[in-house]
Amino acid sequence: MTNPILSDWTTPFEIAPFTAISDGDFAPALDEAMAAHNAQIDAIADNPDVPSFANTIEALEAAGEQLDRVLSVFFTVAGADSNPKREELQREFSPKLSAHFSGISSNKDLFRRVADLWHRRDDLDLSDEQARVLMLTHRGFVRAGAALEGEADARMQEVKSRLASLGTSFTQNLLADERDWFMELAEEDLDGLPDFVIAAARAAGEEKGANGPVVTLSRSLIVPFLQFSSRRDLREKAYRAWAARGANGNETDNREIAAEILTLREERAKLLGYDSFAEFKLETEMARSPDRVRDLLMQVWEPAKARADADADILTAMMQEDGVNGPLEAWDWRYYAEKRRKAEHDLDEAALKPYLQLDRMIEASFACANRLFGLEFASLDAPLYHPDCRAWEVTRNGKHVAVFIGDYFARGSKRSGAWCSAMRAQAKFPEEQTPVVINVCNFAKGDPALLSYDDARTLFHEFGHALHQMLSNVTYESISGTSVARDFVELPSQLYEHWLEVPEVLAEYATHAETGEPMPQAMLEKVLKAANFDQGFQTVEYVASALVDLAFHEGSAPADPMSKQAEVLAEIGMPNAIGMRHATPHFAHVFAGDGYSAGYYSYMWSEVMDADAFAAFEEAGGAFDPERAKALEENILSTGGSREAEDLYLAFRGRLPGVEALLKGRGLIAA
Ligand SMILES: [Zn+2]
């Protein structure tokens, strides 16, 4: 039997042979690969020899190579080019895979070998990287509960499975509330709405089977409605419905679910020997402790609140000029902020677009990587999964570094958003393996394809993640590339966005699609300034949510999360006219799963670092300072998870990050 996924790949640089693979190949390949992986795991766990780094940790690193292949091919096409068959496969694979991996992490024989090595670690004569991989492997098992015995072990399984089902209910309730509510708009209710919002409202109306345009609770529709609708009564009605998601007192109410989740998380942390869930969660992060997270958030909070308070006064005055008395409310902020934005720095998106051609922006992202790291990009002909995909061979001094694939255009078969993944991660063990890295975006197709400024930023962002993969230079795959702490992983990507803002980059690559003229200076300045607009509001709504998330997971779980939330907001003096970006009953980041629980802060943490890291270039004499570029590659882009994030940052910067550059960048303190 020759399943093309499991056979040798004879394509250039052994890129997955997409055109030879059919959907019917996935299920048998997955079954075969999981069985092979299980056999490898059993052989390691049952090995009669005394555990050694080679026969246990390295054997684990080398195991599952077939499974990696199947999953990298499958998840690439399932995310970027799905179809009903692939969706069905995904539903079928997802429980199988979670059972497969949790079977490994709860394998007691395997854990005993790892734990034995861990206790003898000082006598094993390991390299720094080996010691790190041993520590991470051991810690991963312990955190999954592998060290628990008897009753504690059984209770842990119960807690985990209850948490999983509560997370699912939370998500489903939220979806139901978002799906069920809509507000019909008569012609006279459309006042103030630009064409694109009216079109979106009409499309939503058709979808709901209404007789005309409607507002729904989808962020992409309600936010522009709140921004543009001159009807204060309708803004209030829509805002109240939006803020009440998950808290309507009916069968989709999420408040009790949130309380139970917090209680079970605390129990889970305590079963594992931690004082609180925040302590458990932050152990693997750069921040490490709740106090350090709070410190950072509060350093940002104070100036952000001061700016928001000052902005609120300006917006209130505008509202009074409109003849509306009383305080500025949460349903007024976006509306008056939009009026102010138009008056202060109107940026004509339509005039800007021709200057941001996709191909020129790709060139710009490559050119920056060339100046900074000496990388060169040459078009590569390879059979990929969709005709819109493009590939490049990445080299340095004539030596192969990686393959980079770009899949830039939106289509119905692609999920929304933008992402970067390694179809093959860099490693040197068990043999040299060069990365194959893909960026997937959702830009509108066109001839030529033109981007918005946000799109261009997304392109640089994802390319920053790609560099983290492509420049990786470690031995073991489990710590390669972006396998780093969650609050560190966005550093390379957010940092790379700064090069788009370098005036000489825009001047060279933002050229008009028809005339070839560079972007006029006045427009360039407007673009850069507009990025800072309304940052008091945006910072306040975000930081408030992050502080509530943190408070929920520190110490004992609150019996009533809603009153805990109110308490936190009162303590920090939350401005009246700003709501939390995500209030508890619809805070999916925190309650739909574990991903961002006690971790919502990490966006801000990374942003503090990227601003501080880019400032290092500016201090050293410019965005392309070669010494800084070298330090960035040596200490951050090539090192993966081989050392603690804090040590990596210290090695690059010579000190820990400070918030000043972020506050300046967001315009919250004077530059
Ligand atoms: Zn990212």
- Tell me the three-class secondary structure of 446-490, residue by residue: CCCCECCHHHHHHHHHHHHHHHHHHCCCCCCHHHCCCCCCHHHHC
**Ligand 1 centroid to residue 304 C-alpha, Å:** 24
Farthest-apart Cα atoms in the chain, separation: 84
Contact 398, 432 (CB under 8 A): no
* pLDDT at res. 436: 98
**Ligand 1 centroid to residue 638 C-alpha, Å:** 17
Active-site residue among 266, 462, 497, 541? 462
**Ligand 1 centroid to residue 74 C-alpha, Å:** 21
φ and ψ at residue 509, rounded to 5 degrees: -105, -20
* pLDDT at res. 1: 59
How many beta carbons lie within 10 A of that of residue 108, not counting itself? 14
DSSP code string of 559-610: S-HHHHHHHHHHHHT--TT---SS-GGG-HHHHTSSTTTTTTTHHHHHHHHH
Report which of 533, 543, 542, 547 is spatially closest to residue 666, judged by C-alpha positions: 533
**Ligand 1 centroid to residue 489 C-alpha, Å:** 7
Residue in the structure block whose two tokens are 């509001």:
537
Which two three-digit tokens encode residue 167?
């997370």
Q: Parallel, antiparallel, or unpaired: how do β-strands 419-424 and 399-409 relate?
A: unpaired
**Ligand 1 centroid to residue 441 C-alpha, Å:** 12
List the chain residues with pLDDT less than 50: none
**Ligand 1 centroid to residue 464 C-alpha, Å:** 8
* pLDDT at res. 206: 93
Rg (alpha carbons) of the chain, rounded to whole number? 26
For CA atoms 208, 212, 215, 221, the dihedral sign is: positive
φ and ψ at residue 569, rounded to 5 degrees: -65, -35
**Ligand 1 centroid to residue 324 C-alpha, Å:** 41
Residue in the structure block whose two tokens are 């925040």:
278
**Ligand 1 centroid to residue 428 C-alpha, Å:** 26
Report which of 199, 300, 186 is spatially closest to residue 234, judged by C-alpha positions: 186
**Ligand 1 centroid to residue 603 C-alpha, Å:** 9
Separation of alpha carbons 511 and 520, rounded Å: 9
Alpha-carbon distances of 487 from 23, 134, 282, 495, rounded to whole Å: 36, 22, 10, 13
Separation of alpha carbons 110 and 37, rounded Å: 14
Contact 212, 283 (CB under 8 A): no
87 included as an active-site residue: no
pLDDT of 524-539, one tens digit each?
888 888 878 899 999 9
* pLDDT at res. 466: 98
For CA atoms 49, 54, 60, 66, the dihedral sign is: negative
**Ligand 1 centroid to residue 465 C-alpha, Å:** 7
Alpha-carbon distances of 630 from 91, 306, 498, 563, 624, rounded to whole Å: 44, 38, 17, 50, 10
**Ligand 1 centroid to residue 665 C-alpha, Å:** 19
Which H helix or E strand runs over 310? helix 290-321
Separation of alpha carbons 634 and 399, rounded Å: 18
**Ligand 1 centroid to residue 482 C-alpha, Å:** 10
Residue in the structure block whose two tokens are 């043999």:
431
Contact 78, 84 (CB under 8 A): no
* pLDDT at res. 384: 96
How many whole angstroms from its chain centre is CA 213? Answer: 33
Alpha-carbon distances of 381 from 81, 193, 309, 326, 403, rounded to whole Å: 20, 46, 56, 64, 11
* pLDDT at res. 660: 94
pLDDT of 297-343, one tens digit each?
999 999 999 999 999 999 999 999 999 999 999 999 999 999 999 88
* pLDDT at res. 529: 82
**Ligand 1 centroid to residue 379 C-alpha, Å:** 25
Contact 29, 6 (CB under 8 A): yes
3-state secondary structure of 348: coil
**Ligand 1 centroid to residue 461 C-alpha, Å:** 6
